[in-house]
Amino acid sequence: MAAFVTCFANTVRRRKQREGRAFVSITNVFDALGSKAEADKAAGINIAKLADSHQLGHYATELPPGAKINPHYHRHGEELYLILQGSGLIHMWKPGEQTRTSHRVRRGSVFNIPAGTVHQLENDSTGSLVLVFSCHPDHLGSDRVLA
């Protein structure tokens, strides 16, 4: 049995290496923000890709004081956020509605945004707001609707 598991693991590892993907991907969030962040004009922020697969991507961004992510929503799948540094407000509402719900978030806050929910993260503090978010890779492209 152990030989089978070892053989299977080596096959998976070789296949992933042939596909040009590392078997394990380890990225430091703060290093990535300094060197890998790219402008996302639709969202109005810079995003650093930390790791991704066909189903799930992990990304980081830093909002300077007073900055806001452009309001948008996704038709499919939810997003998960983790605030690493700073504080701010997450605003949420349904498309076409005026009533908004806002929640204070700070270092250590974890929250999810359900599919079909317009959301806008705002840094209303005097320091940087650094966060990691996880979602389907399509959320950065074909499944993003600006509100």
Q: Distance (Å, rounded) from C-alpha 56 to C-alpha 71?
A: 21
Residue 25: per-residue pLDDT: 78
Q: Are 143 and 74 in contact (CB under 8 A)?
A: yes
Q: How crowded is residue 2: how many other Cβ atoms within 10 Å of its Cβ?
A: 6
Domains of the chain, each with CATH number or no CATH: 27-146 (2.60.120.10)
- Helices assigned H by DSSP within the chain: 2-18, 29-35
Residue 18: per-residue pLDDT: 55
pTM for this prediction: 0.81
Q: Are 103 and 86 in contact (CB under 8 A)?
A: no
Tokens linked to 59: 């990304």
Q: Are 25 and 51 in contact (CB under 8 A)?
A: yes
Taking the chain, what is the end-to-end CA distance rounded to the nearest angstrom? 54
> Tens digit of pLDDT per residue, the chain (147 long)?
444 434 444 444 445 555 666 568 789 999 999 999 999 999 999 999 999 888 899 999 999 999 999 999 999 999 999 999 999 999 999 999 999 999 999 999 999 999 999 999 999 999 999 999 999 999 988 989 998
Q: How crowded is residue 8: how many other Cβ atoms within 10 Å of its Cβ?
A: 10
